Copies of this chain bind each other. A is one copy, B any other.
Amino acid sequence: MSDVYVAGAGMTRFGRLDATLLGLLAEAGAGALRDAGSPEIQAIYVASMDPEELADEGSIASLFAAYIGRPRLPSLRIETGTSSGAAAFFAAWTAVASGYHDHVLVVAGEKMTSRPTPEVAAILSRMIDPYERSYGATMPALAALVARAYMEAHDLAPKDLAQVAVKNHANGARNPLAHFQRPITVEEALESRFVAEPLRLYDCCPISDGAAAAVLARERHRVRVAGIGHGADHLALRHRDCLTGFRATQAAARRAYAMAGRSPRDIQVAELHDAFTPFEIISSEDVGFFEPGQGARALARGRTALGGDLPINPSGGLKARGHPVGASGLAQVVEIVWQLRGEAGGRQVDARVGLAQSIGGLASNNFVTVLEAVA
């Protein structure tokens, strides 16, 4: 298997935007290509969760290639729900690692705000086990079940969850591409309305538009893809043997660490899938940073803040950078690339090895990617 490097990275502003899905993908893609020094690309991998229903566009891969004036570049679309961006990065990585392609452009985006929120919620509900969905389960409702189980098992209070939002909004305030760029207080978070008890508005990521992009290359660049893992678990929450950790993340992390020859102790910065605040805490345990039940304590002690020993979600995470579903998995990788290259501006941390973890559905289809700065 060939070594694969990230030759370029790009990203749009995230938020409630006027741009179309194609416009967003094109802006991110152009940024990544420029950053990579405009190499000759052999293929395009496109991630978008549901452009048909969210943006009224189909055949999105071919359409994107045509839109950017590269119609003869072969293109593919990859989809795994909310981890689609990470999935496209993985699929493109296999194409380069196999030696089949030398340079591949990966773009990932979603246009969500042009549909009314109830329609978006219905589309997102496609990721829920059909039987559980038939009883009215929504993504926040299922996340609330997980939150309750975790809070009960590890004696957490609502303010412990709120700390995730406070940290990530503080980070987002330093990220000019973030959806939310305003710090919030614990009090604001705890006073926000319930979405699905115990989760309040500030425990949930926003609905966002946005896109991210990366160029993968076999030739040496400053950031190497050291390890990559793909893990899965029961779609139905009721079939799982554990609600306080996500086996899909744990399996993906094991594979990524084994491939990288790394352990959790080597990771110096991470982007974790905080679509709901408890998910950041759970994910920080699933990837092995902290023992089960210790994630919230590490957070409370400031260890995962920008100035801590293991900064998590310096970008603001899904919570504050925003969550255009198909884009997020790749946006995380882009943030880690920028951090490892020292290009993260006011949110820069000191790191040579970073990790991105993306959740598909309610943690049924997850990815973990380990990236390293090359000396």
What residues make up the interface of A, taking CB atoms closer than 8 Å to B?
Answer: 1-2, 43, 50, 52-53, 57-63, 65-66, 71-81, 87, 90-91, 94-95, 97-100, 123, 126-127, 129-130, 230-236, 239, 247-248, 251-252, 360-361, 364-365
Chain B contacts of A361 at CB under 8 A?
59, 62
Number of copies: 2
Expressed in whole angstroms, the Cα–Cα distance for A60 and B126 within the complex equals 9
Q: How far is the CB of A63 from chain B (nearest CB, A)?
A: 6
Residue in contact with A66 in the complex, picked from B52, B98, B230, B236, CB distance below 8 Å: B236
Question: B1 near A100 (CB under 8 angstroms)?
Answer: yes
Question: B57 near A126 (CB under 8 angstroms)?
Answer: yes
Question: A232 near B78 (CB under 8 angstroms)?
Answer: no
9 A-B pairs within 8 Å (CB atoms) are namely A2-B98, A61-B79, A61-B365, A66-B236, A75-B80, A76-B90, A77-B79, A78-B91, A94-B98
Chain B contacts of A52 at CB under 8 A?
50, 52-53, 123, 126
Question: B127 near A233 (CB under 8 angstroms)?
Answer: no
Question: A62 near B232 (CB under 8 angstroms)?
Answer: yes
Question: A71 near B234 (CB under 8 angstroms)?
Answer: yes
Chain B contacts of A71 at CB under 8 A?
232-235, 239, 364
Query: What residue of chain B has the Cβ atom nearest to residue A71's Cβ?
Result: B234
Chain B contacts of A234 at CB under 8 A?
66, 71-72
Whether A65 contacts B232 in the complex (CB less than 8 A), given A52-B52, A74-B365, A76-B78, comes out as: yes
Q: How far is the CB of A109 from chain B (nearest CB, A)?
A: 15
Query: What residue of chain B has the Cβ atom nearest to residue A365's Cβ?
Result: B62
Question: A75 near B1 (CB under 8 angstroms)?
Answer: no
Q: How far is the CB of A73 from chain B (nearest CB, A)?
A: 6
Residue in contact with A76 in the complex, picked from B1, B50, B57, B80, CB distance below 8 Å: B80
